[in-house]
């Protein structure tokens, strides 16, 4: 599947993808509108030109995908590195079954065994505006879900368990940059089934996976499939992007949002968040997307500590340099990350990084030209956008990022940028 589309969130409100939950509402038939707060529906959007389409899309923001169709772009953002378990608070640490931090070793389970062992840890999250899914991550009653599941909640958010017990949940924190919500319920540890978190970097294309959630309000529905792809990009609720996303063909529908995607060792490798509909009107077509759990772990630690999460931000829009471009334009390198644009007021702008001055088309593919080409970041070579993303995400807001860039005039420059915190509204940066 080509990544030549930009995912967009579903409409909100009474006529959108979400509506008030009804425990007795059956699944829709014959194309009827689907109830419930489901995965954020991703729709194909063709972007005409790099420099005219949302230059504020994030820390490493809007980029040209080297495999995308001519004239299209893909929104991406920094991905958190693998979690340092020591940095996570004791509240989320523990032995097997008690905490979400470490991926546990274990034998492969079949689907029935997995459901029997962990199905009770998957919950129904609902409020007056919609419903979704979640799962218990520790004996203290912390529950993970999607930010867009609790977005717009008015009044009480309730959580329902497999024994039909329904309790009020407290919102500990929400991170719209990663579509993560952390909730908490006040129940004895003996009443909670903890779902262990695994390692999303271990996900292998083709390996079997299982999703459990509440599609269309049908509690704890189990579906299975495979990891169809890794390192996808989807749009976050705040308009930036989420990188390193796991794609699956396990059936995910409205109401699955916030539910776990398991590997066959019973470890969660992602939070089900979005589906691609292909213009079919909101139904599943075998393209589901899960936020990688390693990214979620870091966010959880921040939310538990402060109720908010911060994400390092440089404020550039990038396109890969490849041999085709290098053969046509004298840029002094045949690899690196071309700065296509610099967001006004960003750390990149303050550091003096220069964006593209034009665009050319080679063999039907559009390239930004004239901007700085980053070839080194903090002493490590930058061969592509992903290398620069990794350098940014290894740091915190306020840290320095030392870059070596090739300039359009053939010179080489050393640039030091002090990273900022990702802003709430990326569209404001383009104004």
The whole-angstrom separation of Cα 180 and Cα 296 is 7
296-329: pLDDT as tens digits:
999 999 999 999 999 999 999 988 898 888 888 8
Q: Where are the alpha helices (DSSP H) in 59-135?
A: 111-118
Residue 396: closest CA among 76, 179, 81: 81
**Ranges of H-type helices in 74-186:** 111-118, 147-150
Active site residue 257: yes
CATH of 85-306, one of 2.40.10.120, 3.40.50.10800, 2.30.30.700, 3.40.50.2000: 2.40.10.120
Q: Which long-range contacts (CB under 8 A, 24 or more apart) does 101-107 make?
A: 101/197, 101/297, 103/196, 103/197, 103/198, 103/199, 103/202, 103/267, 104/196, 104/198, 104/265, 104/267, 105/265, 106/265, 106/266, 106/267, 107/265
**What CA dihedral angle connects 140, 144, 150 and 155, to 10 degrees?**
-10
Q: Give the pLDDT confidence score for residue 137 in this predicted structure.
A: 98
Query: Alpha-carbon distance 390 to 377, whole Å?
Result: 9
- Active-site entry in 138, 175, 179, 199: 179
pLDDT at site 38? 53
Three-state SS letters, 185-244: CCCCHHHCCCCCECCHHHCCCCCEEEEEECHHHCCCEEEEEEEEEEEEEEECCCCCEEEE
What residue ranges do the domains of the chain occupy?
50-76+310-430, 85-306
Structure tokens at 55: 């230059």
What integer pLDDT is reported at residue 284 of this predicted model? 78
Task: For residues 38 and 216, give the distance between their C-alpha atoms in angstroms, rounded to a whole number.
Answer: 8
CATH superfamily of 50-76+310-430: PDZ domain (2.30.42.10)
Q: Binning pLDDT at 50, 70 and 90, where does residue 46 land?
A: very low
Query: What pLDDT does 423 receive?
Result: 87
Is residue 346 part of the annotated active site? The answer reads no
**Are 100 and 297 contacting, i.e. CB atoms less than 8 angstroms apart?**
yes
CB 287 within 8 Å of CB 275: yes
Cα 162-164-169 angle, rounded to 5 deg: 90
Q: Round to the nearest angstrom and report the end-to-end CA distance of the chain.
A: 33
Least confident of 100-104, 170-174, 244-248, 389-393: 100-104
Cα(48)–Cα(65) distance, rounded to whole angstroms?
Answer: 14
Tens digit of each residue's pLDDT (9 = 90 or more) over 168-208: 999 999 999 999 999 999 999 999 999 999 999 999 999 99
- Decide the pairing of beta strands 268-276 and 40-42: parallel
Tokens of 296: 């979620």
What is the rounded distance in angstroms from the CA atom of residue 343 to the CA atom of residue 121?
43
**Which of 140, 148, 175, 366 is labelled catalytic?**
148
Q: What is the pLDDT of residues 248-279, one digit of tens each?
A: 999 999 899 999 999 999 999 999 999 988 76
Catalytic residue among 160, 200, 228, 257: 257
């Amino acid at each position: 599947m080509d990544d030549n589309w930009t995912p967009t969130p579903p409409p909100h409100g009474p006529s959108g993808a979400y509506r008030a939950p009804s425990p007795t509402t059956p699944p829709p038939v014959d194309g009827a509108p689907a109830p419930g707060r489901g995965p954020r529906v991703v729709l194909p959007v063709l972007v005409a030109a790099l420099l005219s389409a949302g230059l504020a899309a994030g820390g490493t923001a809007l980029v040209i995908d080297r495999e995308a169709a001519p004239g299209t772009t893909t929104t991406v953002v920094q991905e958190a590195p693998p979690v340092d378990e020591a940095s996570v608070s004791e509240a989320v640490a523990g032995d097997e079954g008690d905490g979400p931090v470490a991926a546990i070793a274990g034998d492969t389970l079949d689907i029935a065994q997995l459901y029997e062992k962990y199905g009770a840890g998957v919950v129904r999250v609902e409020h007056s505006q919609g419903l979704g899914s979640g799962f218990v991550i520790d004996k203290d009653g912390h529950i993970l879900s999607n930010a867009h599941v609790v977005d717009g909640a008015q009044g009480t958010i309730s959580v329902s368990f497999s024994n039909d017990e329904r309790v009020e949940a407290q919102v500990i924190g929400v991170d719209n940059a990663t579509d993560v919500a952390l909730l908490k319920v006040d129940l004895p540890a003996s009443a909670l089934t903890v779902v262990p978190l695994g390692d999303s970097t271990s996900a292998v294309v083709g390996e079997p996976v299982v999703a459990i959630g509440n599609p269309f309000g049908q509690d704890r529905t189990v579906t299975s499939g495979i990891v169809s792809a890794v390192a996808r990009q989807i749009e976050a609720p705040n308009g930036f992007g989420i990188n390193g996303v796991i794609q699956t063909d396990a059936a995910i529908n409205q109401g699955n949002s916030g539910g776990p995607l398991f590997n066959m060792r019973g470890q969660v490798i992602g939070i089900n968040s979005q589906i691609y509909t292909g213009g079919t009107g909101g139904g599943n077509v075998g393209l589901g997307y899960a936020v990688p759990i390693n990214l979620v772990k870091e966010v959880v630690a921040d939310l538990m500590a402060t109720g908010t999460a911060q994400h390092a931000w440089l404020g550039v829009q990038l396109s890969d340099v490849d041999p085709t471009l290098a053969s046509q334009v004298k840029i002094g390198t045949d690899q690196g990350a071309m700065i296509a644009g610099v967001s006004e007021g960003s750390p990149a702008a303050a550091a003096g990084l220069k964006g593209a001055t034009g665009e050319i088309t080679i063999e039907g593919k559009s390239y930004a030209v004239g901007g700085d080409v980053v070839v080194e970041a903090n002493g490590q070579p930058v061969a592509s956008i992903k290398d620069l993303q990794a350098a940014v995400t290894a740091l915190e807001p306020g840290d320095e990022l030392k870059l070596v860039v090739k300039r359009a005039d053939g010179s080489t420059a050393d640039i030091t940028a002090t990273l900022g915190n990702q802003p709430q509204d990326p569209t404001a940066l383009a104004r």
